[in-house]
Amino acid sequence: MTKQDYHMSPEQFREQGKKLIDWIADYYEQVENYPVLSQVSPGDIRKNLPANAPGQGESFDAMMRDVDQFILPGITHWQSPNFFAYFQSNTSGPSILGELLSAGLGVQGMLWATSPACTELESHVMDWLVDMMGLPQQFKTTNQGGGVIQDTASNALMTALLCAREMKTNFETNKLGGCPKIVAYVSSQTHSSVEKGIKIVGIGQRNLRVIDVDEHLAMIPEKMEQQIKKDLDEGYIPFFACATIGTTSSNAVDPVRAIGEICRRYDIWLHVDAAMSGSAAVCPEYRNYFDGLELAKSYAFNPHKWLFTNFDCDCFYVKDKAVLIKTLSILPEYLKNEATEKGAVIDYRDWHVQLGRRFRALKLWFVIRYYGVEGLQYHISEHIRLAQEFAGWVDQSPDFELLNQPPFNLVCFRHKSDDAFNKKLMDTLNKSGKLFLTHTVLNGQFWLRMSIGQTQTKRHHVENAWRLIQETAEMK
């Protein structure tokens, strides 16, 4: 290895890069054999690492030996076919290679001018998705709206909150600070990122109204309208509502159209969050759950959850890009350039908090092209079919009960004993390393969550999981 200038030589890069490609291919071939949930204790990883950075460079082989020996035991294998926890976060070959290409090119896409392809491919792929998924045409960049890749649904939601805040306050909060008495509406099942976002943007938790849900855990629009009227009577100003298609806890679907019509009536910004389940719209047979989406001012879903695309990749759409840009744009002198000044281009820097951005559209483009719409439809509908099959087994079991018929790929279920038993069942299963599933609390009860959507998960993994769950419950 030549170290004369310390850089990795092109020859070294070729050699080590190819070894790493093989390492990753081997990893996917073996991942099923690792304990899904890492079995280490706090501090176990750090204690194996030297206290100080090396003064002199080390070989790449030495690093990869440490990856095998010290890092792998501390990995919870999200890409295992036996990973059923939280939400899926499925990757794929074309996506991993898209990330590699993006890292290799190493461009900054903050302005159109800083790499036109980075911006234009992103707009293009975001527009593709609108048609592929039957989303409202208003979201296309070629129309009044537009799409941008953000890092997470949390940031997308915060961006929506900001747009709504500025729209309602005539863009004066940006200037003057201190929001008037503006209030936002969510359900008890909305993702916690709304609570986090409402704190960050200076509106305050007390101005977040949490609306009741029905027996399907979906927001009750009438309750929202009652609350709006009450708020108006008390001098509050309703400005934002979030409806969810596929909540995190239970995949509940809020009635978007009914909520949207109320929002229209009271001039409230409707954001629709489909971070987990939005990928289902690639299949026409699930688009009924997205009814009313044209009433949304903004929308987000995460290909990095359930569309075989590496984290981070959240697709955020707005109905009116002028509002978004007016809310977030800042143009210091050193970023001024001809293309921007002519207004002929999109500068994505004005579409989110960050200035810098990497070329994330590549991986999404690769995934869509490699699978084709038909390949993506096949896998999404297969995951949902497997979830429904699993739900059927639970339903037929004398010992277990089902929360509800799952609309998508998440099954909430529990053993017909108490919470403590279910928690112990979950912990025992997870400690076995043979599968990993997590829980939630709904209506005061502890429910197990089985999220079926990893790239390599096949029917026999789901069958094995069900067998293991039953056996473990019997042993206790």
* Nearer residue to its own copies within complex by CB, 107 or 220: 107
CA 410 from centroid of its chain's CA atoms: 15
Tokens 């995934």 belong to 367
* Nearer residue to its own copies within complex by CB, 176 or 322: 176
CB of 117 to its own copies, least distance (A): 3
CB of 301 to its own copies, least distance (A): 14
CB of 295 to its own copies, least distance (A): 25
Distance CA 122, CA 345 (A): 13
Distance CA 440, CA 438 (A): 7
* Nearer residue to its own copies within complex by CB, 330 or 420: 330
* Nearer residue to its own copies within complex by CB, 109 or 292: 109
Residue 442 sits at the vertex; the CA angle it makes with 439 and 444, to the nearest 5 degrees, is 110
* Nearer residue to its own copies within complex by CB, 180 or 397: 180
The helix-helix angle for 361-396 and 93-105 (nearest 10°) equals 150
Element holding 400 (H helix, E strand): strand 400-402
Distance CA 421, CA 440 (A): 14
CB of 94 to its own copies, least distance (A): 6
* Nearer residue to its own copies within complex by CB, 432 or 440: 440
* Nearer residue to its own copies within complex by CB, 233 or 333: 333
CB of 72 to its own copies, least distance (A): 8
Nearest partner of 77 among 91, 63, 57, judged by Cα: 91
Nearest partner of 386 among 448, 453, 309, 436, judged by Cα: 453
10 Å Cβ neighbour count for 169? 18
CB of 257 to its own copies, least distance (A): 27
* Nearer residue to its own copies within complex by CB, 144 or 397: 144
CB of 400 to its own copies, least distance (A): 19
Nearest partner of 433 among 465, 385, 459, judged by Cα: 465
CB of 221 to its own copies, least distance (A): 23
> What distances in angstroms separate CA 326 from CA 43, 320, 323, one per listed residue?
46, 10, 5
Strands 445-451, 208-211: pairing is: unpaired
Distance CA 94, CA 102 (A): 12
3-state secondary structure of 76: coil
